C-alpha cells in the first residue's frame, strides 16, 4: 500500500512538487502518492491534521504557511529552529510532528552543482524574508569572507544579521549602504514575481561573478537579464527547488534520489 505525501500551500495548483516527487519515487522504486493540497488561509493546521487522519505521512509546506508549520511541530531540526520556519513536515509513528527546513541546503547544493564556491568570497543577499532566514546558516557555514544582507527596510536586514552573527561574518543594511563588488549576488526578493528589478548599481559583480535568482521561469527573470548586461554568470532557482525536494524525500523515505535527471525533466516541462 502506498503512503501519502503532499504539498500544502495557498495557492498551490501551480506547484511542481507533485511532478518532482513522483519522478523521485519512480526513480528509486518507492511506492507513494503525492498530491497538491490547498489549505485555507485561516485553516492550515486543520488541513494538515485532516491530511494525517487520511493516512498522510509527510508534507512539503509552501507560502504562506512556513511559520505556522514551525509553530505546530513537536520536534524541530536545528536548521528549522535557525530558520524560524518549516518547509518539511513528518507525521511520526508516535503521533509527534517533526519539522525541518530544507531550503538552505537546497540552495547550497544547487550552487555546488553549478561550481559556485563560497569560501573566501564576498556574497550579497537581496531581501530579508523567510527564504533568506532559511539560507543564511548553510551559506555562512561555507565561510565566505563576508555576507551582506540588503533590504529596502535596512533595520530588518540588520536584525537578521545580528541573529546569525554567531555563525559567520554577516552584516545588514539598506540599498543605500550597498558598495563594492561581489563574487555572488543572490536575489531572494519577490521582485522577480512582479517583473521588477531591485535598485542595484552598475559594476556590482567581480570579474567572473555569479548572479543567482531564487525564482525561475520559462524566460530569465528581470534580475538575471540585468546581471547578464553586467557580464555576470546567471543561475535561476529551478535547481534549488529540486534539491530542497530531494532532501525532503530523503527525510521521509531514507533514500536519496538523483537530482540531475529531475532537473532536466523540470526544465523540459517549462519550455514545452
Active centre residues (catalytic): 66
Say if CB 161 and CB 172 are below 8 A apart: yes
CA gap 176, 165 in Å, rounded:
22
Q: Residue 139's closest CA among 162, 115, 182, 106?
A: 106
CA gap 21, 44 in Å, rounded:
22
Which residue is it, cell 535561476?
Answer: 236
Cell of 38: 490547498
CA gap 74, 80 in Å, rounded:
12
- CA distances to 11, 31, 52, 186 from 93, in Å: 29, 18, 11, 39
Amino acid at each position: 500500500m502506498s503512503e501519502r505525501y503532499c504539498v500544502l500551500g495557498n495557492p498551490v495548483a501551480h506547484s511542481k512538487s507533485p511532478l518532482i516527487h513522483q519522478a523521485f519515487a519512480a526513480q528509486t522504486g518507492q511506492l507513494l502518492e503525492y498530491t497538491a493540497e490547498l489549505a485555507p488561509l485561516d485553516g492550515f493546521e486543520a488541513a494538515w491534521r485532516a491530511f494525517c487522519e487520511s493516512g498522510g505521512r509527510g508534507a512539503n509546506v509552501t507560502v504562506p504557511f512556513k511559520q505556522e508549520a514551525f509553530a505546530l511541530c513537536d520536534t524541530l531540526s536545528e536548521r528549522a529552529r535557525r530558520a524560524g520556519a518549516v518547509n518539511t513536515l513528518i507525521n511520526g509513528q508516535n503521533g509527534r510532528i517533526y519539522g525541518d527546513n530544507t531550503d538552505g541546503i537546497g540552495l547550497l547544493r544547487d550552487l555546488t552543482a553549478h561550481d559556485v564556491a563560497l569560501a573566501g568570497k564576498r556574497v550579497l543577499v537581496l531581501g530579508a524574508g523567510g527564504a533568506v532566514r532559511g539560507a543564511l546558516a548553510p551559506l555562512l557555514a561555507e565561510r565566505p569572507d563576508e555576507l551582506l544582507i540588503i533590504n529596502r527596510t535596512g533595520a530588518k536586514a540588520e536584525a537578521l544579521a545580528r541573529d546569525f552573527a554567531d555563525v559567520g561574518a554577516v552584516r545588514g543594511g539598506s540599498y543605500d549602504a550597498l558598495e563594492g563588488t561581489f563574487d555572488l549576488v543572490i536575489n531572494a526578493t519577490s521582485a522577480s514575481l512582479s517583473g521588477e528589478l531591485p535598485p542595484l548599481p552598475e559594476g556590482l559583480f567581480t570579474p567572473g561573478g555569479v548572479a543567482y535568482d531564487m525564482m525561475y521561469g520559462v524566460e530569465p527573470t528581470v534580475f538575471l537579464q540585468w546581471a547578464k548586461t553586467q557580464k555576470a554568470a546567471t543561475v535561476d532557482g529551478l535547481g534549488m527547488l529540486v534539491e530542497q525536494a530531494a532532501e525532503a524525500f530523503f527525510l521521509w523515505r531514507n533514500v536519496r534520489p538523483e537530482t540531475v535527471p529531475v532537473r532536466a525533466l523540470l526544465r523540459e516541462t517549462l519550455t514545452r
